[in-house]
Structure 1
Amino acid sequence: MKHVSIIVPHGHISLTNIEGTHQILAEVNEFQKAMGKAPLFTIQLVGLSTETRQRNGLFTVTPDLLIGDVLKTDLIIIPALFGDQKQILALNEELIPWLIKHYKAGAEIASYCIGAFFLAATGLLKGKQCATHWRLANEFRAMFPDVNLVDDKIMTEEDGIYTSGGAYSYLNLLLYLVEKNAGRDVAVLIAKAFMIDIDKNSQSPFIIFQGQKAHEDESVKKAQDFIETNFQDKITVDQLADLLAVGRRSLERRFKSATANTVTEYIQRVKIEAAKKDLETGRKNVNEVMFDVGYSDTKSFRTVFKKITGLSPIEYRNKYNKEALVLEM
């Protein structure tokens, strides 16, 4: 059987990640038994202390084992850890050499949501793709510039390391791990039993673009403010460079460094965020929304919208604006 270590770190952790993983993998074992097959997983909670108190003592998690008791494991699960990520690393520094040791011994590692911060601190994600919650994408990039963060994806897999996007998207990664170990038929059974949308792979439809201003470059901030105030108009890089009295190449380099987007990408994301809000709450048709955010070419608007959100404008409106959907029926 495959030994699964669900880590119980110190600090404020996602109880949902821990309990949900344990419950679903245990259910896989039950399905296996029902089909006359041997259970697939030995599932244990592994911690740094004999108990971990959560939410001001409202809950207590009691690990089955301490990290020193684990001689060999096959899959390590890192839950989301909430709060100041640097403080979390300090609280759980003993886990880092333990994770590296078992990965080098052949264990796979999966992090959920912002558990990616802790996984990245081990150095094991260097040069690899990684997903995390879209809300903390900029903070992650600042802390771990050598990791290839793909904040639109729900999950990544590379060299035996798995990561998932925000919040409940951990279920999609968990379902993927079930399929990988138990087969497609069992994964479909689990998806139906727990009502998980199988084969979902993007968190783009859920991203709310809030600007990327956690930097100290004042010229770039002025450019961002100008874009956000005048997104209905056609804005060019040359126009912004002239406005700020800086060279075009210098502005593009500084903008990318500060925001992780090119100037053009930023303009697109501001326009599309405005379009999303209109589609979510208003009664305008897609063409009206398109013109309102400064696009005149339908194909171009739809292409950029789908690239950023993963959905066409009509699909997005139908998903998030039930009133508009009713009006069409």
Structure 2
Amino acid sequence: MKHVSILLLDHVNIGSMENARLGLLEANTFQKLNGMEDYFKVELVGIRPEVNLYNGAFTIRADKTLDQVSNTDLIIIPPVQQDLASGIQDNEAFCPWIKEQYEKGTEIASLCLGAFILGNTGLLNGRKCVTHWKATGQFKRLFPDTQLLPDKLLTDDAGIYTGGGAFSSANLILYVIEKYLSREAAIYCSKIFQIDMGRNAQSEFIIFTGQKDHSDDQVKTVQEYVERNFPEKFSVEFLCEKFFLSRRTLERRFKYATGNTLLEYLQRVRVEAAKRNLEKTNKTVSEIMYDVGYSDSKSFREVFKKYSGLSPLEYKSKYGLN
């Protein structure tokens, strides 16, 4: 039997915590249906015996506190439901225990914004990881030594697993069930909870809003120009002349401030506009392609799939008007 410690964080996201707990317990149900014993012993482990949430509306009691767990096989870190800086600070006491357990051979899985708690331990330095796409900018600033893969749905690196968004973290739980127990158990759980096991990316869910949480005002001016004029045909050289910067300087400053090259930024702005049109209008893919500044259908399809994970037709079929 594998002992699993789900951390009862201060200000924990109850939904994600319960997704993990119920998923593992359902794997035990699979075992029983097949005449076998439970495989996972699942416990909520906290700093204190209980946590109050939503101004006392909910009280969750821990099965054990940290000092009562000397060894565990898997630690699951759910996300916090509050400001991330405060969430990291309020849950600081978990970090030494997580590191100590990992050094003993314990594996660790973070769900969604739980990656911020895990990142604070230093165990993600140099390792591949994911978190919710909306928090990637803040994660990169706080933990620059990690190999953040914002488009991926989950990662598996040296006994450390990370998963994307709060509800899509259920895919990480299925992955853990398959790795620890069996694929048959994971398929059973996916059917019970109606979760698509085939997903491996969060690209199609990303809403690109432009990375403007930086202090380079001239780069912001360039960004705003691109966002207003993306349907037009203009080159990097044109932007350099317009804003009185050399190409090398503009490319360097733009990449440093936004994390994208100028070309990547223009592509992402155009793809986001195309996605909105595919969702909200009855225009054809070709009409939308021209509206957002493309004239070559092959190039448009390739760029669209690069940033959304789907072809324009697949995206329209999935998210467009019926």
Q: TM-score, normalised by structure 1?
A: 0.96
4+ long deviations beyond 3 Å: none
Q: Paired residue for 2:157?
A: 158
Deviation at 1:65, TM superposition (A): 0.4
State how 1:218-233 maps to structure 2 within 5 Å.
218-233=217-232
Deviation at 1:255, TM superposition (A): 0.9
The residue type paired with residue 221 of structure 1 is K
SS at match of 2:167: helix
The residue type paired with residue 2 of structure 1 is K
Equivalences, count: 322
State how 1:208-287 maps to structure 2 within 5 Å.
208-287=207-286
State how 1:182-193 maps to structure 2 within 5 Å.
182-193=181-192
Deviation at 1:250, TM superposition (A): 1.4
Q: TM-score, normalised by structure 2?
A: 0.98
Q: C-alpha offsets along residues 266-294 of structure 1, whole Å, 9 cap, x if unaligned?
A: 00000000000110011110010000111
Q: Paired residue for 2:199?
A: 200
- Alpha-carbon RMSD across the aligned residues, in angstroms, is 1.0
Q: CA–CA distance in 2 between the matches of 1:159 and 1:236?
A: 43
Q: C-alpha offsets along residues 16-58 of structure 1, whole Å, 9 cap, x if unaligned?
A: 1222211121111121122122211111000010110011111
Q: CA–CA distance in 2 between the matches of 1:242 and 1:114?
A: 41
1:124 is the counterpart of 2:110: no
SS at match of 2:168: helix
Deviation at 1:88, TM superposition (A): 1.8
Q: Paired residue for 1:289?
A: 288
Q: Paired residue for 1:149?
A: 148
CA contact 2:255–2:261 (8 Å) conserved in 1:
yes
CA contact 1:155–1:165 (8 Å) conserved in 2:
yes
The residue type paired with residue 227 of structure 1 is V
Q: CA–CA distance in 2 between the matches of 1:175 and 1:191?
A: 7
The residue type paired with residue 311 of structure 1 is L
- Once the two structures are overlaid, the 10-residue window that deviates more, 108-117 or 244-253, is 244-253
Question: Which sections of structure 2, spanning at least 5 residues, go unmatched?
Answer: none
Q: CA–CA distance in 1 between the matches of 2:81 and 2:211?
A: 21
SS at match of 1:61: strand
Q: Paired residue for 1:6?
A: 6
SS at match of 1:232: coil
Q: Paired residue for 2:320?
A: 321
Q: Paired residue for 1:51?
A: 50
CA contact 2:4–2:73 (8 Å) conserved in 1:
yes
Deviation at 1:101, TM superposition (A): 0.5
Q: CA–CA distance in 2 between the matches of 1:138 and 1:20?
A: 26
CA contact 2:281–2:321 (8 Å) conserved in 1:
no
CA contact 1:3–1:75 (8 Å) conserved in 2:
yes
CA contact 1:227–1:235 (8 Å) conserved in 2:
no
Deviation at 1:244, TM superposition (A): 1.5
Question: Which sections of structure 1, spanning at least 5 residues, go unmatched?
Answer: 324-329
Deviation at 1:251, TM superposition (A): 1.1
CA contact 2:27–2:185 (8 Å) conserved in 1:
yes
The residue type paired with residue 132 of structure 2 is H
Deviation at 1:124, TM superposition (A): 0.6
CA contact 2:126–2:147 (8 Å) conserved in 1:
yes
Q: Paired residue for 1:326?
A: none
Deviation at 1:118, TM superposition (A): 1.0
> Once the two structures are aligned, what percentage of the paired residues are identical?
48
CA contact 2:282–2:321 (8 Å) conserved in 1:
no
Q: Paired residue for 1:70?
A: 69
CA contact 1:46–1:64 (8 Å) conserved in 2:
yes
Q: CA–CA distance in 2 between the matches of 1:229 and 1:322?
A: 26
Deviation at 1:166, TM superposition (A): 1.2
Q: Paired residue for 1:327?
A: none
Q: CA–CA distance in 1 between the matches of 2:116 and 2:236?
A: 34
Q: CA–CA distance in 2 between the matches of 1:116 and 1:101?
A: 17
Deviation at 1:322, TM superposition (A): 3.3
The residue type paired with residue 108 of structure 1 is E
Q: CA–CA distance in 2 between the matches of 1:20 and 1:89?
A: 22
The residue type paired with residue 15 of structure 2 is T
Q: Paired residue for 2:18?
A: 19
Q: CA–CA distance in 1 between the matches of 2:128 and 2:115?
A: 11
Q: Paired residue for 2:302?
A: 303
SS at match of 1:169: coil
SS at match of 2:4: strand
Q: CA–CA distance in 2 between the matches of 1:158 and 1:25?
A: 21
Deviation at 1:199, TM superposition (A): 2.3
